[in-house]
Amino acid sequence: MFTVIIYVERMLKSVVLKNGQIKICTSCVEARGLKDLKFIEGACLSNMKELTTLLMESDKVVTF
């Protein structure tokens, strides 16, 4: 499990370094009690309206 977390962190940092966007669903964070955690640098909380717009306008989306 720990290895998977490190891999995901590296992958997300790579996205940030390449000027990719990392948006975090605020509703999902709150539902899981994660609101007070520190997220990876470059990631930001978003809302359903913004996420829907981004999904509709994007050529590619990576989600996990």
Cα angle at 63 between 57 and 64, to 5 degrees? Answer: 170
> What local confidence, expressed as pLDDT, does residue 2 receive?
59
Q: Within 13 Å and on the Cβ side, how many CA atoms surround 13?
A: 6
Residues 6+ apart with CB under 8 A from 24: 39, 43, 44, 45, 46
Flag residues of the chain having pLDDT under 50. none
> What local confidence, expressed as pLDDT, does residue 49 receive?
95
> What local confidence, expressed as pLDDT, does residue 62 receive?
77
Tokens in use for 23? 């948006």
> What local confidence, expressed as pLDDT, does residue 3 receive?
66
Rounded CA separation 53/12 (Å)? 21
Determine the topology of domain 2-57 in CATH: Hypothetical Protein Ychn; Chain: A, (3.40.1260)
